[in-house]
Amino acid sequence: MTIDAPAAPIRSIAHAQVSLSTILLSYLQVGVTAFGIAIIPKLKALVLDKQWLSEDEMNEGFALVQLYPGPMMVDFTAYVGYKLRGVPGAIAATLGFITPAFVLMLILSALYFSAGSLPWLQPILGPLFIGLESLVTGVIAHLALDFGERVLKGRVQAVIALAAFGALLYNVNAVIIVFVSLALGALLLKPNTPAGTSPLARTRPNVAPVPPQRWLAIAAVTATVIAGAALAAVLHSDVGQMGLSFFKIGTIAFGNGITIMPLVQADVVDTFHWLTPAQFADGIALGQITPGPVLITATFVGYKLGGLIGAALATFAMFAPSFAMTLIFTEVFARLHNVRVIRGALAGVLASFVGLLAVMVLQLGKPAITGPATLTLAAAALVAVRFFKLDVLWVFAGGLCAWAMLLAIGLV
């Protein structure tokens, strides 16, 4: 690989030894209080306020986790824990961040699916959930537009997005779309990284060798992930198939939670029909209103198929593959001189996710938008988050209150 600019060392700070309990409790606090777009600032503020890493080290980690598959916020959390205390630190940080969302989603999933078995609740909750699904459609439409603005930087990316959109409409396997986009990006896109803008574009002279015991710990984590996938494979049930599906998605999907959702929908709704489109939209809504990572919707799917065990397997399968990759790539990328080819591949696959998200909006909207009232509600949600910058929690709360009032006075 070529070097774009003269080597510039990454500035670091001397870290005091941080206890595992401190890491766990700190991320538990973030996991309880961070919602939606506030997650990124909270994660960064935690690192800088406690002086765990320098700003350069933090930015390096944030750039790093965008270069391989997996949900970025969870992987960034694992990166910080790994830098502080190795593999045990990464485990403590990740468990702290995910556990509150997992527990809350378990409770909400139990209530949601129990309500479905109580006929007397259906006349009350059914119409309310129609409104909720309309709001989700509007919010996802905003996220697709916002993501497209940030990702589509030229004609090649636009064509890749359009091709992915058409391919998914014609039922081409989403995994094939991702890999083709990855290859096209690597071949056709070579993003220029100006000197000084990305720590990952710099060389790292005199990088200390990794202690053997750390490689052994990384190998143990990787072996655990593989064992989890093997266990799912031998179950020969919907729960096992779901586990394999989420292991696959967690291994190949790039970006943040919402950009990964189309791959989840392709398997959960379109291929295996574990959830209806309406149930999937409700699962996304619950993932949006719970703190922590949006992909905690995996817990919702797992609970539907296998109760507590299914929820635990689904959650582990979604987050564990990229957790292991974070440990490996933190060491590997520290020894690379340039990652422009990798950035090209990433640009290609992210462009494809714009097209996949657009299909997801159409598929979610089809059962949700049933008339002028639901279309207006979806449009109101889009305007609220896009132009008024309202938090999704307020959009859902206000939208459902307005919808309930319309239901009460008989206008819908």
Tens digit of pLDDT for each residue in 308-355? 999 999 999 999 999 999 999 998 877 665 567 777 888 898 899 899
Cα–Cα distances in Å, from 136 out to 95, 289, 302, 348, 375? Answer: 28, 11, 21, 27, 12
Cβ distance 276 to 217 under 8 Å? no
Q: Which of 101, 89, 100, 104 is nearest to 24 (CA)?
A: 89
* 373 is a domain residue: yes
| Structure tokens that stand for 56 in this block | 């350069």
The alpha carbon dihedral of 54, 57, 60, 66 has a sign of: negative
DSSP H helices in 236-335: 238-252, 257-265, 277-289, 297-332
* 5 is a domain residue: no
- The continuous run of DSSP H or E covering 48 comes out as helix 39-49
Q: Which of the two residues, 254 and 279, has the higher pLDDT score?
A: 279
* 403 is a domain residue: yes
Cα–Cα distances in Å, from 23 out to 84, 122, 293? Answer: 9, 44, 18
pLDDT digits (tens, 9 = 90+) for 296-306: 999 999 999 99
Cβ distance 263 to 251 under 8 Å? no
pLDDT surpasses 90 at 196? no
Cβ distance 253 to 263 under 8 Å? yes
pLDDT for res 180: 94
Q: Which of 146, 183, 133, 145 is nearest to 163 (CA)?
A: 183
* 8 is a domain residue: no
* 3 is a domain residue: no
pLDDT digits (tens, 9 = 90+) for 368-389: 888 899 999 999 999 999 999 8
| Structure tokens that stand for 189 in this block | 């896109």
The amino acid at residue 376 is T
Q: Who contacts 344 (Cβ-Cβ below 8 Å, separation ≥6)?
A: 185, 186, 187, 188, 189, 190, 191
**Rg for the chain, CA atoms, rounded:** 22
pLDDT surpasses 50 at 64? yes
* 286 is a domain residue: yes
Q: Who contacts 64 (Cβ-Cβ below 8 Å, separation ≥6)?
A: 79, 200, 329, 330, 333
Q: Who contacts 279 (Cβ-Cβ below 8 Å, separation ≥6)?
A: 304
Domain count, the chain: 1
- Kindly indicate the confidence band of residue 12, based on its pLDDT and cuts at 50, 70 and 90: very low
- Kindly indicate the confidence band of residue 412, based on its pLDDT and cuts at 50, 70 and 90: confident
A 10 A CB-CB count for 228 gives 17
Q: What is the DSSP-derived secondary structure letter of residue 121?
A: G
Give the integer Cα–Cα distance in Å for 389 and 218: 41
> Integer distance in angstroms from the first to the last C-alpha of the chain?
62
pLDDT digits (tens, 9 = 90+) for 86-125: 999 999 999 999 999 999 999 999 999 987 655 545 566 6
Give the integer Cα–Cα distance in Å for 320 and 247: 8
Domain that holds residue 148: 20-199+211-408
pLDDT surpasses 50 at 399? yes
pLDDT surpasses 50 at 5? no
pLDDT digits (tens, 9 = 90+) for 14-23: 455 889 999 9
Reported pTM: 0.83
* 14 is a domain residue: no
Give the integer Cα–Cα distance in Å for 53 and 364: 41
Find tokens 């940030």 and name the residue: 150
